[in-house]
Amino acid sequence: MGGDSPVTAGRPPKPLEVKRKNGNPGKHALPAVVEVSFVPDRPPKPPSNLKQSGKRTWKQLWENGRLWLGKSDEAAVRLACEQADEVTALRGAASRLKDPMKRLQYIYATQAAEKLLMSSLSNLGFTPTARARLGLVVAQAAETESRLTRFAHRAG
C-alpha cells in the first residue's frame, strides 16, 4: 500500500477482554490496568454550536467514557460531536433529494462522514480495540464505577 493511507499494517489488536478470557495463550505482556482518577459527577457543558444530534452525542460520550475521558479530551469530543451533527445533516439532505444521482452523492458523502466519526470515536476509546489500546476492560470500568459509587455514598 502506498500513498497517504492512515491504515496500519496487519490485524487490529485483540481486545483485552478476549485475551484475558482466553488466558493470554501467547504469553505477551498485557497493558497495565488503567488507574482511574477524578470522575466528574456530570458531563461538561456542551459547546453552543452543537445541534441536537451533537448535544446528544456529547452527553453520551461524557457519560459512557467518564472513567477515561478528561478535560484534555474536550476538543476531540467536540470534534466528534460536530461530526455527528454533520452525519445527521447529510442524512436529512439525502432523504429530501428527488434526483437519484444527487441522492447517491449525498449517500457517499454521508458514508465518508460516518467513517470519520467512527475514527474519532475509536480514538476516544469507544470501540473494544481502542479500549484494549488504553488498557481498559469494560468489566473493570463497571467495577471501578461501582466502587466509586459506593465510596461516594459512604463519604456523603
Instruction: Give residue-wise pLDDT tens across range 98-141.
Output: 999 999 999 999 999 999 999 999 999 998 888 877 776 655 55
Report the distance separating Cα 136 and Cα 149, nearest Å: 19
What is the pLDDT, as a whole number, of residue 5? 44
What is the pLDDT, as a whole number, of residue 26? 73
Q: Which three cell numbers stand for residue 123?
A: 480514538
Q: What is the CA radius of gyration of the chain?
A: 19
Which residue in 118, 127, 146 sits closest to 17, CA to CA?
127
Report the distance separating Cα 116 and Cα 109, nearest Å: 11
Report the distance separating Cα 31 and Cα 99, nearest Å: 52
Does the pTM surpass 0.85? The reply is no
What is the pLDDT, as a whole number, of residue 82? 98
| pLDDT, tens digit, 9 for 90 and up, residues 18-58 | 666 667 667 777 766 555 555 567 789 999 999 999 999 99
Is 82:58 a contact under the CB 8 Å cutoff? no
| Reported confidence tier of residue 96, pLDDT bands at 50, 70, 90 | very high
Please indicate whether residue 142 or residue 9 has the higher confidence score (pLDDT): 9
Which residue in 117, 120, 113 sits closest to 93, CA to CA?
113
What is the pLDDT, as a whole number, of residue 131? 80
What is the pLDDT, as a whole number, of residue 133? 76
Is 39:148 a contact under the CB 8 Å cutoff? yes
| Neighbouring residues of 78: CB distance < 8 A, sequence distance ≥ 6 | 47, 50, 58
End-to-end CA distance of the chain: 57
